[in-house]
Amino acid sequence: DVKVTQSSRYLVKRTGEKVFLECVQDMDHENMFWYRQDPGLGLRLIYFSYDVKMKEKGDIPEGYSVSREKKERFSLILESASTNQTSMYLCASSLSQVIYGYTFGSGTRLTVV
Amino acid sequence: AQSVTQLGSHVSVSEGALVLLRCNYSSSVPPYLFWYVQYPNQGLQLLLKYTSAATLVKGINGFEAEFKKSETSFHLTKPSAHMSDAAEYFCAVSDHGSSNTGKLIFGQGTTLQVKP
């Protein structure tokens, strides 16, 4: 089975800190995604990457950046964390063809205080 | 652009009753369709998917969904709810506009409550 591993399940950071959320997949998937999930708002796409060093903005990229230096790893960076970035963050990966769907990690619940 | 609508943000059923979670999509081209389930404090797990083969798709945990092109729907059903089915359910549709990037568009989610 494909595994998508997010480095932390729970994270508490202070306002203004630079925060790194790490995601690693072990099945050579081309595509990787970062979503945030908030009650009543569903899943909102932050960034995605379809190849190493390639990235595209999703629906809510403001305040975030990403890095994909290796195929298996996709990092989400909060340049200066703010309280409105308190959320559940979900990483997903997939093969290039959408027919296969996504595999999700277990999520990181980030609290910014 | 493709979109997906889940009717009802909360659905409550009694244990043993029929589960029906509704999903409609907007596309003139039959898309690929997916249902995912999310248990508390976990990521999303694939329940089932439609990829233009059989219109009635069976998934895990006794769930199934029927693709109806004329109604642009892909509703999720289970004949008899179990307490362990309590979770959030997401419908997703392929975004044909993104060519080969494999993007899915997710609905807002439906929380299923199962009462004893």
Q: What is the pLDDT of residues B5-55, one digit of tens each?
A: 999 999 999 999 999 999 999 876 778 899 999 998 889 999 999 987 788
Pick from B44, B47, B74, B105 the residue to mutate for testing the A interface (most A CBs within 10 Å): B44
Tokens of A59: 């629906």
* Mean pLDDT computed over every residue of chain A: 94
pLDDT band at B103 (very low <50, low <70, confident <90, very high): confident
Q: What is the pLDDT of residues B67-89, one digit of tens each?
A: 998 999 999 999 999 999 999 99
* A76 residue type, one letter: L
**Under an 8 A CB cutoff, do A98 and B104 touch?**
yes
d(CA B34, CA B13): 22
Of B91, B98, B94, the residue nearest B75 (C-alpha):
B91
Query: Taking a C-beta distance cutoff of 8 angstroms, is the pair B78, B60 a contact?
Result: no
User: How far does B7 lie from chain A, in Å, by closest CA?
Assistant: 13
d(CA A41, CA B90): 12
d(CA A72, CA A26): 6
Pairing verdict, β B64-68 and B56-58:
antiparallel
Of B97 and B3, the structure prediction assigns the larger pLDDT to: B3
**Under an 8 A CB cutoff, do A101 and B44 touch?**
no
User: How far does A50 lie from chain B, in Å, by closest CA?
Assistant: 6
pLDDT at residue B52 in the model: 78
Number of Cβ within a 10 Å radius of residue B8:
13
pLDDT at B101 over 70: no
